[in-house]
Structure 1
Amino acid sequence: MLINFNNLNINNLSFQTDFESKTKIFLEEWFSDGSTVKVQTSGSTGTPKIFEIEKNKMVNSAVMTCNFLGLKEDDKALLCLPVEYISGKMMVVRSIVRKLRMIVAEPSLKPLEHLNEEIDFCAMTPLQVENSLDKLHLIKNLIIGGAAVSESLKRKIAQNKRLEGIRIFETYGMSETLSHIALKQLMPEPEDYFTAFENVSVSLDERGCLKIFAPNVNAEVLQTNDLVEIKNEKQFKFLGRIDNVINSGGSKVFPETLEALVKKEIPNEVVFTGVKDESLGQKLILVIEGSATDDLNKKVAGISFEKSFHKPKEIIFIEKIPRTPNGKVNRIELNKIIAGRL
């Protein structure tokens, strides 16, 4: 279905599918007299929770994204993310604020499957992008979030000859920042650092973790558990979450950094994790999604790790790596599965 926010009358719209009904519920909540809306966290780093966000802060966030991308009234957007989470809600709010025409498509791993027209703006997860490479050229401005974009996916995007003139960005953000507060361009010119929006500044705490000051969306300085490299007060490079740091033999290992390295060599989803070990404290384990093959084992064996302790002590193949509903790797659940197999 298509919702025209330049001439909106909710009562005249026919919401037929379950997802369309959820979208209608959010619209009714948004246009109610209340000053806040309820948002559910993904649960990728802990127990999912529901909290309330001020509508005016969401409007400010939407304006920053729309201004950065140059979106204008009557542009066409595609909603293909769950509206229970901030990612889906913010797509709706951006459409409301900028008076876009929004196509409502059931969230799936192939959200562009039935798309046969050009659209101006869409937000997708890496898994959705992975399954939509044949139709990405229909999107003028694409932002990818919810999880890190793998090196293999970046390579597939860069090699796609049909994407000339298309702008693609990786996002940085979380529920507490009302979706993203920084973007990193992947196409047409790939960038190494995220660049924060206007009126957003970044700094480090004593642990090397990112601090965000974005007064338009949060009056307080937001303290994250994300380890980063700071270039200046507007630009930073993500290294990994401090929660995920593995202490093996007294050395700190950043799994996300190693995962990016391995994904340059193999197409499979991979996760580095640590399991308890009497001598090392934590033993470094590489989990690979899929079945073991001679070719795959040879490629992994040929990877040159910067440090000797970066090389996994054990490699485990798993049919499917668990994920949260919005596509993030569920490291908590994965660790439970691995512990049961060792």
Structure 2
Amino acid sequence: MLIDFNNLKINNLDFETDFEKKINFFLEEWFSDSRTVKVQTSGSTGTPKVFEIEKNRMIHSAKMTCNFLGLQEGDTAFLCLPVEYISGKMMIVRSLERKLKLMISEPSLKPLEKLHSETDFCALTPLQVENSLDKIHLIKNLIIGGAAVSESLKKRISGFTTHIYETYGMSETLSHIALKPITPQPEEYFTVFEDVSISTDERGCLKIFAPDLNVEVLQTNDLVEIKNERQFRFLGRVDNVINSGGAKIFPEQLEALVKKEIPNEAVFLGVKDESLGQKLILIIEGEESEDLIKKVLETQFEKNFHKPKEIIFVREIPRTPNGKVNRRELLDLITP
């Protein structure tokens, strides 16, 4: 299905599938007299909730992304994300704001199977990218969100000429407020959009002020290193920090390091330990493998205490509906 937002007549559109009907419901909500629309959070960092967002703020967010990527009226976009969440809703709003031609595909792990021609813009989760490598070359501008992009995936997409970006944002920032290039020229730091200010609190956690998106200063639990007024590097979530024997360990950094050596999903957790407080363990998704264990133990960790005290293999690592690793559920899974 294709929706031309330069010549939109909702009544003439034939919404057949459940996914298309959800899009229709959102469009009806968007064109209603209400100043707001309802958005559901993923629940990856807390209890899932539904809250209302002002439409004019969503338009500001859409303009930021479209301007950053240089999208023009009449360009094409491809939607294959759930429209219950801000990620899918914002793909529609960007198409509305910039009058794009929006192609619709049911959200799945292989959403690009039916894509046979070039498109100017698409948003995917890392899992969707992993299952769509044979079609990525058809996308001119690709943003990846919903979860961190693993080092192994970065390697697999490094040869593409497509402009691929990792996103930084949350529901409260109306999708992302910063992008980090992965290809064709990778960068270490996220670059924030125009009219977005960043700073840190006493913990070193990122504070965001984007008055066009949210009237309040948004306090995150993300530990960052700020390079300049427009760039920052993500270190990890403060609530994921592992305190082992008095040493603070950032699991996201260790995961990025290990994933340069192994192709499997890998998650570092801290489990209760009488002597250390928390014992550092590594969970690897897949069948137990001595070769994988050897590669992990041969990894050049910066500190000796960064090496996991134990390595556990699980068939499948639990994830939230939009693909993020569910650390709380994983911890429950591997502890009695």
Is the pair's TM-score, using the shorter chain for normalization, greater than 0.5?
Answer: yes
* Residue identity in the other structure for 2:84: E
Please say if 1:86 is aligned against 2:86.
yes
Q: Secondary structure of the residue that 1:296 maps to in structure 2?
A: helix
1:130 is aligned with what amino acid?
E
2:21 aligned with 1:21, yes or no?
A: yes
Name the SS of the counterpart of 2:199 in structure 1. strand
Deviation at 1:294, TM superposition (A): 2.5
- Which of residues 257, 266, 273 is equivalent to 1:270? 266
Instruction: Work out whether residues 280 and 309 of structure 2, in 8 Å CA contact, stay in contact via their aligned partners in 1.
Output: yes
Which of 316, 319, 331 matches 2:327? 331
SS across alignment from 2:335:
helix
Unaligned runs of 5+ in 1: none
Q: Give the 4+ runs in structure 1 shifted more than 2 A.
A: none
Letter in 2 for 1:307: K
1:194 aligns with 2:185: no
Task: Please state how far the C-alpha of 1:221 moved relative to its aligned partner.
Answer: 1.1
2:151 maps to: 151
Matching of residues 303-322 of structure 1 within 5 Å = 303-322=299-318
Sequence identity (%): 76
User: Aligned to 2:202, what secondary structure does the other structure show?
Assistant: coil
Aligned residue type for 2:171: S
Contact 2:255-2:268 at 8 Å conserved across structures: yes
Counterpart residue number, 1:129? 129
Between the aligned partners of 1:318 and 1:17, the Cα distance in structure 2 is: 35
Q: Report the secondary structure of 2:119's partner residue.
A: coil
Distance 2:128 2:74 in 1: 25
Tell me how far apart the structure 2 counterparts of residues 243 and 80 of structure 1 sit (CA, whole Å). Answer: 31
Answer whether contact 2:297 2:307 (CA < 8 A) is retained: no
Runs of 5+ consecutive residues of structure 2 not aligned to the other structure: none
CA separation in 1, counterparts of 2:304 and 2:291?
23
CA offset digits 1:20-76 (Å, max 9, x no partner): 111111111111110001111111111101111000000000000001111111111
d(CA) in 2 for partners of 1:265, 1:19: 38
The one of 212, 216, 220 equivalent to 2:216 is: 220
Q: 2:261 corresponds to which letter in structure 1?
A: E
Q: Secondary structure at the match of 1:202?
A: strand
Corresponding residue of 2:110: 110
RMSD: 0.8
* Correspondence 1:296 to 2:292: yes
Q: 1 CA distance for matches of 2:75 and 2:22?
A: 23
Secondary structure (helix, strand or coil) at the match of 1:148 reads: coil
Amino acid at match of 2:313: F
User: Given that residues 105 and 111 in structure 2 are in contact (C-alpha distance below 8 angstroms), is that contact kept between their aligned partners in structure 1?
Assistant: yes
- Report the Cα distance in structure 1 between the residues aligned to 2:180 and 2:290, rounded to whole angstroms: 36
For 1:205-216, list aligned pairs within 5 A: 205-216=201-212
Shift of 1:298: 1.6
The residue aligned with 2:54 is 54
Give the paired residue count: 336
- Counterpart Cα distance in 1 of 2:330 and 2:41: 19
Secondary structure at 1:231 match in 2: strand
TM-score of the superposed pair, with normalisation by structure 2: 0.99
Whether 1:257 aligns to 2:253 is yes
What amino acid is the match of 1:287? I
Does structure 1 residue 76 correspond to structure 2 residue 76?
yes
